[in-house]
């Protein structure tokens, strides 16, 4: 069985490319796995990080599974509410929340703001006072823990712009206590994304334990600990590993964190929830022989999936329609191609020197593991149209 056998290629022929295709069954299986992994732990709360994919159909399925939402903008808060997430399960993060976004969150009475600086805390207090509200806040602390992931998606090191420095934690909590319209209920952390080295999570847990000891000594008691997101997915073998091990992930915290009685533990996974259920489907426009290389030029470019151009990210690529010759298997004949898009920039490359069956104009090409940070990061650069979207639910 290969990935091409898992996809409804016949139906794809009728759809205009490029498009994202979401396997809703895989998404629902992933959501059931999350529910199963938290079923024995009453104080565990999962907020899906909407930034990974804000497609309304996916959001509705995730809300229906009972997850909360982690939002980073007023637009995401609206999208989450529209999709059916209860406001009481929404958290709102981000280093630069503008006034209208804070007001939107207050109007909906969301569960909690993850606050990243003292001036932001003062502003939330000010806006909440104007509106006659009290805002629940958690302080995002920069724990200076290395996530051992790509530099551009590392967030928990002292030099990153995120969070409040550890030494400022207690003064900031004391300051919050003096503000009439904020209620500081917890701490928030997030060290980075696409984390495959699970040892990073116990390292964060140990750092949280140290900070909690300091809080105890200062007689400060908080009820919520939010450890953010970051669990990685298998971009190399999406078929073999379609569902990440959420039980192991949650356990890597539960085994190391010394939660105080009654404390609630929150997670914000994004990529691990939606990454493997999405594929970007494109057509070969031209097969071009260059001076030294052979190029497959697709009708999808970095405007549709920016991860390879932006982070050097690897997505498995398959030709869904190239037929094997008589008596041959898919792997018998392979040609080495650079798979590129049509955008007028040399970074518009999905993969270099990869083996694929001999391909031709019109073949359907799939870029897998594209459910997270794919559609949601698409742009209209070069006046291109945004990619279309289809789901497996349309076929049933």
Closest approach of Cβ 226 to ligand LLP, in Å?
Answer: 9
Closest approach of Cβ 54 to ligand LLP, in Å?
Answer: 13
Locus of tokens 């995730």: 62
Nearer to ligand LLP, 93 or 121 (CB): 93
Q: Is 68 exposed, middle or buried (0-12, 13-18, 19+ CB in 10 A)?
A: buried
Nearer to ligand LLP, 267 or 337 (CB): 267
Dist CA 358 CA 328 (whole Å):
12
Nearer to ligand LLP, 249 or 337 (CB): 249
Using the Cα atoms of residue 286, residue 290, residue 294 and residue 298 in order, give the sign of their dihedral. negative
Structure tokens at 1: 């069985």
Closest approach of Cβ 297 to ligand LLP, in Å?
Answer: 24
Locus of tokens 């997030």: 190
Nearer to ligand LLP, 190 or 224 (CB): 190
Could you say which DSSP state residue 77 is in? H
Closest approach of Cβ 178 to ligand LLP, in Å?
Answer: 27
Locus of tokens 């945004």: 386
Nearer to ligand LLP, 187 or 297 (CB): 187
Closest approach of Cβ 147 to ligand LLP, in Å?
Answer: 9
Structure tokens at 152: 């551009």
In this structure, what are the phi and psi dihedrals at residue 312, rounded to the nearest 5 degrees? 65, 30
Closest approach of Cβ 141 to ligand LLP, in Å?
Answer: 12
Instruction: Please report, as ranges, the residues that interact with ligand LLP according to CB under 6 A.
Output: 49, 51-52, 70, 93, 153, 155, 190, 193-194, 228-231, 268-272, 307, 311, 373
Nearer to ligand LLP, 104 or 155 (CB): 155
Nearer to ligand LLP, 38 or 93 (CB): 93
Asked if 112 and 92 count as a contact pair (C-beta separation under 8 A), the reply is yes
Structure tokens at 210: 């140290």
In this structure, what are the phi and psi dihedrals at residue 283, rounded to the nearest 5 degrees? -115, 150
Asked if 62 and 82 count as a contact pair (C-beta separation under 8 A), the reply is no
Closest approach of Cβ 49 to ligand LLP, in Å?
Answer: 4
Using the Cα atoms of residue 207, residue 170, residue 140 and residue 185 in order, give the sign of their dihedral. positive
């Amino acid at each position: 069985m290969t990935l091409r056998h898992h996809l409804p290629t016949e139906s794809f022929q009728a759809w205009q490319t490029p498009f994202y295709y979401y396997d809703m069954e895989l998404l629902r299986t992933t959501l059931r796995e999350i529910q199963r992994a938290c079923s024995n732990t009453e104080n565990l709360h999962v907020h899906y990080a909407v930034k990974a994919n804000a497609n309304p159909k996916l959001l509705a399925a995730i809300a229906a599974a009972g997850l909360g939402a982690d939002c980073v903008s007023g637009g995401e808060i609206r999208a989450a509410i529209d999709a059916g997430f209860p406001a009481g399960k929404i958290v709102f993060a981000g280093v630069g929340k503008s006034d209208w976004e804070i007001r939107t969150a207050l109007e909906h009475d969301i569960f909690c703001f993850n606050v990243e600086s003292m001036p932001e805390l003062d502003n939330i207090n000010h806006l909440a006072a104007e509106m006659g509200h009290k805002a629940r806040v958690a302080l995002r602390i920069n724990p200076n823990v290395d996530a051992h992931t790509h530099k551009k998606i590392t967030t928990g090191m002292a030099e990153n712009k995120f969070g409040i420095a550890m030494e400022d934690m207690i003064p900031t909590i004391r300051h919050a206590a003096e503000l009439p319209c904020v209620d500081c209920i917890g701490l928030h952390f997030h060290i980075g994304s696409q984390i495959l080295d699970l040892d990073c999570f116990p390292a964060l847990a140990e750092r949280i334990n140290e900070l909690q000891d300091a809080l105890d000594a200062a007689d400060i008691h908080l009820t919520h600990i939010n450890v953010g997101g970051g669990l990685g997915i298998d971009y190399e073998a999406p078929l073999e590993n379609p569902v990440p091990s959420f039980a192991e992930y949650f356990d890597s915290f539960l085994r190391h964190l010394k939660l105080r009685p009654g404390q609630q533990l929150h997670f914000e996974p994004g990529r691990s929830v939606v990454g493997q259920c999405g594929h970007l489907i494109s057509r070969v426009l031209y097969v071009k022989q260059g001076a030294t290389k052979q190029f497959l030029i697709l009708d999808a470019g970095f405007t549709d999936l920016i991860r390879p151009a932006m982070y050097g990210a690897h997505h498995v690529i398959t030709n869904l329609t190239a037929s094997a010759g008589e008596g041959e298997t898919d792997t018998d004949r392979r040609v080495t191609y650079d798979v590129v898009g049509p955008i007028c920039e040399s970074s518009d490359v999905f993969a270099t020197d990869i083996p694929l069956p001999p391909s031709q104009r019109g073949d359907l090409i799939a870029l897998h593991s594209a459910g997270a940070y794919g559609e949601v990061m698409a742009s209209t650069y070069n006046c291109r149209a945004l990619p279309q979207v289809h789901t497996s639910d349309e076929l049933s």
